[in-house]
């Protein structure tokens, strides 16, 4: 009888847990059983592993093989355990020592010819291995640059099972990858492309500076989509912690950019209005996968033609917008994905959507209210800036675009405003004004005087605002002051914030 064990990592959402892969070889009818709550892909590993071992020049043990994955109560998903299972079986057979792999997490899918294929979720898996105290990881060559983003862990890359066997048996070095450079180049879009629309440009700048949600209303061609697409160009690059968070989510989804694993630019997601609940929020059968909401973490989620989305799908955004996290409950347990996004909605004022706006619209007021009423009140109550754009005049199209400010100019002001907010809210778990809680805003040190908040208090008492809306207007007022270089908001700042809050067509 032979017994051996190695380590791998199981993922639930972006959280990983180290798994002990045990192999026990005993006398009996030859065969292989996998236990420890494996899914279908993992049960099929017995066939892939056997073919990979034989095609790597090794003999398959003609014994009864039991592979167990500990902890047994944790569901295991995917084919990323193949390489660890193969090593455990060969070590249990006594043909491959595991001394050099005793403190390593082994990740990778095996092809029938013994090649090691890339797998999803390597970055969060390596992070989990590092937290558990493992000193090295063995990953596919295609995932090596991604794995090397985690400091303090020795990354060894294998292109085939044969290479890993030679390393374990004879100490033949595996590849040591160099981290690929992050893609820091901004997208090609520029805010200078937007002609006129000073109100929309101001709203985009405020949204970027304060991390506020935004809704843009107006006829077709008014620039709603152009403004939304250019919001990421004026957002500051992600810091190290945020970049790792974003990269981990995209690693699980399998959407990392080729050759540039670390995502430094805020992501931009624009799902079609036919998107289902799992596509937008996350989910699916078996393991719950991240949706567009989580793929936009630390970036922008843009919903164009927002009233055309299913109302049920839109209302599913309400809880994640408040908590910055998606909690997906399935029969196998709960899976959490980060979802701290800036939501941008764009909507035409009515179903006919005439380019000239109200002048020749055939829709009655009731029809218009019903159309925009597909955006529920609780959802709009979470939108800080609600702006109506007017049609673009012909004079704007003939104007020299060089007069408009570029994204680089606006981004510099946004960076200064964010820096001021970060200093002000130090120690309060907030990096921008949108993250500040209402309790902090009503604290004696930061509370605005009644002479400043008089109009806002009146709107609250008259039922024009909710308590949530009251706090959000104050947050926008702080952003206005930051952009204009003032230490505290004044009455004018609050008036502008309140106007932008009440600027819908409803």
* Residue 177 pLDDT: 78
What is the chain's mean pLDDT, rounded?
Answer: 90
Tokens of 380: 């709009």
Tokens of 410: 């606006």
Q: What are the Cα distances from residue 269, in Å, to 29, 238, 251, 300?
A: 53, 16, 16, 6
Predicted confidence (pLDDT) per residue in 100-128, tens digit:
999 999 999 999 999 999 999 999 999 99
Asked if pLDDT for residue 134 goes beyond 90, the answer is yes
Q: How far apart are CA 437 and CA 439, in angstroms?
A: 5
Which stretch of 47-56, 104-113, 182-191, 468-477 has the lowest confidence by average pLDDT?
182-191
Asked if pLDDT for residue 503 goes beyond 70, the answer is no
Once rounded to an integer, what is the mean pLDDT over residues 74-90? 94
Alpha carbon 472 to its chain's center:
24
* Residue 257 pLDDT: 77
Please give the model's pTM, rounded to 2 decimal places.
Answer: 0.90
Torsion of CA 40, 42, 48, 50, to 10 degrees: -120
Torsion of CA 90, 96, 100, 106, to 10 degrees: -20
* Residue 428 pLDDT: 86
Q: How many residues does the chain have?
A: 506
Predicted confidence (pLDDT) per residue in 135-170, tens digit:
999 999 999 999 999 999 999 999 999 999 999 999
Closest CA to 389 of 190, 214, 199: 199
Q: How far apart are CA 171 and CA 192, in angstroms?
A: 58
Q: How far apart are CA 143 and CA 154, in angstroms?
A: 14
- Find all residues with CB under 8 Å of 266, minimum gap 6, and list them: 232, 235, 237, 238, 298, 299, 300
Asked if pLDDT for residue 357 goes beyond 60, the answer is no
* Residue 284 pLDDT: 76
- The strand ranges marked E within 97-245 are 104-106, 109-110, 116-117, 136-140, 154-158, 214-217
Q: How far apart are CA 176 and CA 138, in angstroms?
A: 10
* Residue 181 pLDDT: 57
* Residue 25 pLDDT: 96
Three-state secondary structure call for residue 152? coil
Q: How far apart are CA 488 and CA 290, in angstroms?
A: 39
Q: How far apart are CA 309 and CA 271, in angstroms?
A: 10
* Residue 504 pLDDT: 46
Q: Tell how strand 136-140 and strand 116-117 pair up.
A: unpaired
Q: Tell how strand 15-26 and strand 2-12 pair up.
A: antiparallel
| Domain 191-501, architecture per CATH | 3-Layer(aba) Sandwich (3.40)
* Residue 404 pLDDT: 79
* Residue 283 pLDDT: 85
Higher-pLDDT residue of 67, 444: 67
Do you find a cis peptide bond into 71, omega within 30 degrees of 0?
A: yes
Which stretch of 151-160, 193-202, 325-334 has the lowest confidence by average pLDDT?
325-334
Asked if pLDDT for residue 335 goes beyond 90, the answer is no
Once rounded to an integer, what is the mean pLDDT over residues 358-370? 79
Which stretch of 26-30, 164-168, 277-281, 286-290 has the lowest confidence by average pLDDT?
286-290
Q: What are the Cα distances from residue 299, in Å, to 226, 228, 318, 444?
A: 16, 12, 17, 32
Question: What residue has token string 């209303």?
Answer: 217
Phi/psi for 354 (5° steps) reads -70, 135
Domain 2-170 has CATH 3.40.50.720: no
Asked if pLDDT for residue 485 goes beyond 60, the answer is yes
Closest CA to 391 of 234, 209, 221: 221
* Residue 506 pLDDT: 37
- Quickly state the pLDDT bin for 60 (edges 50, 70, 90): very high
Write down the H helix ranges in 70-197: 82-92, 122-131, 144-147, 161-170
Percent of the chain clearing pLDDT 90 (strictly above): 72
The domain locations on the chain are 2-170, 191-501
Predicted confidence (pLDDT) per residue in 372-416, tens digit:
889 999 999 999 999 999 887 766 666 655 567 899 999 999 999
């Amino acid at each position: 009888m032979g017994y051996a064990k190695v380590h791998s990592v199981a993922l639930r959402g972006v959280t990983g847990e180290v798994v002990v892969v045990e192999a026990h070889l005993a006398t009996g009818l030859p065969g292989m059983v996998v236990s420890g709550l494996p899914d279908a892909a993992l049960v099929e590993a017995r066939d892939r592993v056997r073919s990979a071992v034989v095609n790597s020049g090794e003999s398959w043990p003609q014994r009864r093989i039991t592979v167990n994955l500990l902890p047994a109560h944790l569901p295991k998903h995917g084919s990323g355990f193949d390489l660890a299972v193969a090593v455990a079986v060969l070590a249990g057979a006594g043909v491959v020592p595991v001394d050099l792999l005793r403190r390593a997490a082994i990740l990778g899918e095996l092809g029938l010819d013994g090649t090691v294929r890339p797998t999803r979720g390597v970055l969060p898996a390596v992070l989990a291995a590092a937290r558990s105290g493992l000193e090295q990881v063995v990953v596919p060559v295609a995932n090596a640059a991604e794995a090397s983003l985690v400091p303090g862990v020795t990354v060894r890359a294998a292109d085939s099972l044969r290479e890993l066997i030679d390393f374990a048996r004879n100490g033949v070095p595996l590849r040591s990858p160099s981290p690929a450079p992050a893609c820091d180049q901004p997208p090609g879009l520029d805010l200078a492309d937007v002609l006129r629309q000073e109100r929309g440009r101001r709203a985009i700048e405020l949204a970027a500076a304060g991390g506020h949600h935004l809704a843009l209303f107006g006829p077709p061609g008014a620039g709603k989509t152009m403004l939304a697409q250019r919001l990421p160009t004026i957002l500051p690059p992600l810091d190290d912690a945020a970049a790792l968070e974003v990269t981990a989510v995209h690693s699980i989804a399998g959407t990392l950019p080729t050759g540039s694993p670390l995502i430094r630019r805020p992501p931009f997601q624009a799902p079609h209005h036919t998107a289902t609940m799992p596509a937008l929020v996350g989910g699916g059968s078996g393991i719950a996968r991240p949706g567009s909401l989580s793929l936009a973490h630390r970036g922008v989620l843009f919903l164009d033609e927002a009233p055309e989305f299913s109302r049920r799908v839109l209302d599913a955004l309400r809880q994640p917008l408040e908590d910055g996290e998606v909690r997906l409950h399935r029969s196998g347990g709960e899976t959490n994905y980060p979802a701290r996004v800036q939501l941008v909605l764009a909507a035409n004022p009515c179903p006919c959507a005439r380019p000239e706006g109200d002048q020749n619209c055939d829709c009655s007021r009731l029809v218009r209210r019903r159309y925009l009423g597909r955006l529920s009140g609780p959802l709009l109550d979470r939108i800080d800036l609600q702006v109506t754009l007017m049609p673009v005049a012909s004079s704007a199209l003939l104007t020299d675009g060089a007069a408009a400010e570029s994204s680089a100019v606006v981004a510099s002001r946004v960076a200064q405003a964010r820096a001021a907010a970060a200093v002000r809210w130090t120690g309060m778990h907030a990096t921008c004004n949108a993250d500040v809680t209402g309790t902090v805003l009503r604290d004696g040190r930061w509370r605005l005087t009644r002479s400043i908040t008089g109009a806002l208090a009146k709107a609250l008492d008259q039922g024009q605002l909710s308590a949530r809306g009251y706090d959000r207007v104050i947050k926008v007022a702080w952003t206005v002051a930051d952009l204009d270089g003032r230490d505290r908001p004044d009455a004018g700042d609050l008036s502008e914030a309140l106007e932008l809050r009440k600027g819908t067509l409803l």
